[in-house]
Structure 1
């Protein structure tokens, strides 16, 4: 069952529904990730709570659970609240790479992954409230840490997320060509992975990057392709984001209609948009 949950969270079946029950703590985290990707936030949060209560959780996994929860909060627009949860994520493993969390070594791939997830999450939180310098510094620290690490093959998601936020920071900083460059680099990485959800998110970032250089036609076409993929694979949060992008680059009433439909369904699943 946990193999199926892994495919739903990180592989080729992100829209799997209903999801099987989890038999391990990591399986519960995978189930929560899959639920969150489908926009089932209340169920996803309950799954994380159950994971913490079901047995001992290594610091690295506990950290990644916090990072996962922060990502849902950030998706709903509450960047300040997300930053507090991401802060808890980094506290679980620490920033000092010479020191190790209890029961794990500092260069353990799981610890490196957790640190990178928390740093990129904090950078996205800072970007969301206009603290561009802080976001850049956090991304630079993450890049430096991952460049020194020898586990590049198991850091695919962290490299991809770093590319997304690099592209978003460039967009908001008025550096459109840099945004496209970062997004295209992430797109190249996405060709090498199995996770449909991460591939679709990368396509969305690229479509947004094109809008930042005034290529509204390519941006709109990309947003519509993401919409189609999200409908097929049950990725409701990304479907909403794609509809919002499409609306912003000329999608008009059809785009706004899809966005409202997504917002209503997300609200039924526990997602409430809030001011920063």
Structure 2
């Protein structure tokens, strides 16, 4: 596994470019994750295409895990641009590929990725009760012996992210803030700058229910870090939050950032339809 790819996908250098050449299936998946974090969605999907071709035969558990991770990663790209219904197809496929096919730590992690993804998809379609139930299933899987032996730092943070988002959608800012702060605590102990930044952004979103001015101020710090770290999708999301709360445009503003995402292959869903 390439240290450079790991450091971009889940480490301290999320904006690093160009990336080192991938060799293994894992490298190709890490490449897709890294490119997605930078908003290079067209290139990221092309990397996932390679993962899909190399795992097409599902010869072993490792192939099955990466086939599942490829599907759930593809779903996350769709979700980030508003296509929650389409994302649910890929997340469902991710779960079907790996569920019931072994209890290795890697399989458990992939199942949890798929379940949290499906919960986020349900949220985007207004199905909050389904979202909470899917998170409960994820927690149940984590609490099994095989789940407790897995390295689930990323899945635990994502669980708090989606919990915070579901609470926000339900208008429960207190519950949302609790989950967001837990995500911040968990992310503080990991190497992934991207996970720390997104956790802080969710905390800002939850804070809007209590102190909008403070939330906007902290969100601007997140925005600046996203810009300096090359995290274009999160820069766009933080810009949207700042403008929505304060009415003051960032520089570049959310429309300009959205256009930059679209130029890199992120096709936004028209939310007016």
**TM over 0.5, shorter chain:** yes
Alpha-carbon distance, 1:251 to partner? 4.1
1:219 Cα deviation (Å)? 1.1
1:243 is aligned, of 239, 242, 246, to 239
Match in the other structure for 1:11: 11
Question: 1:116 pairs with 112, 116, 141, which one?
Answer: 112
Identify unmatched segments of 5+ residues in structure 1: none
| Structure 1 equivalent of residue 254 of structure 2 | 259
Report the equivalent of 2:40.
Answer: 40
Give the Å deviation of 1:216: 0.4
Matched, 1:204 2:165: no
**Contact 2:108/2:150 (8 A) holds in 1:** no
How do 1:164-179 and structure 2 match up within 5 A? 164-179=161-176
Distance 1:238 1:152, change over 3 A: farther
Please state if 1:270 is matched with 2:265.
yes
Output the CA distance in 2 between the equivalents of 1:199 and 1:152.
24
Residue matched to 1:220: 216
Cα shift at 1:188: 0.7
Secondary structure of 1:65's aligned partner: helix
Count of residue pairs brought into register by the alignment: 265
CA distance in 2, matches of 1:129, 1:137: 15
Matched residue SS, 2:14: coil
Name segments (4+ residues, structure 1) moved above 6 Å. Answer: none
1:61 to 2:66 alignment: yes
- Deviation of 1:148 after TM superposition, in Å, equals 2.1
Tell me by how many angstroms 1:31 deviates: 0.4
User: Cα–Cα, structure 1 residues 244 and 256, in superposed 2: closer, same or farther, change >3 Å?
Assistant: farther
Q: Distance in 1 between matches of 2:202 and 2:224?
A: 15
Deviation at 1:256, TM superposition (A): 7.9
In structure 1, the partner of 2:153 is 156
Please state how far the C-alpha of 1:32 moved relative to its aligned partner.
0.6
Q: Establish whether residue 80 from structure 1 lines up as the match of residue 85 from structure 2.
A: yes
Write the deviation string for residues 214-236 of structure 1: whole angstroms up to 9, x where unpaired: 31022101210111111111000
* 1:3 Cα deviation after fit: 1.6
1:182 aligns with 2:160: no
What is the alpha-carbon distance in structure 2 between the residues aligned to residue 205 and residue 263 of structure 1? 19
2:180–2:203: 8 Å Cα contact kept in structure 1?
A: yes
Q: How far apart in 1 are the matches of 2:135 and 2:80? A: 19
Cα drift, residue 119 of structure 1: 0.3
Change (3 A) 1:131 1:256: farther
Provide the rounded CA distance (Å) in 1 between the counterparts of 2:13 and 2:150: 22
Root-mean-square deviation (CA), in Å? 1.5
Structure 2 residue 61 is matched with structure 1 residue 91: no
Gaps of 5+ in 2: none
Alignment of 1:100-139 (within 5 A): 101=101, 105=102, 107-139=103-135
CA distance in 2, matches of 1:153, 1:183: 23
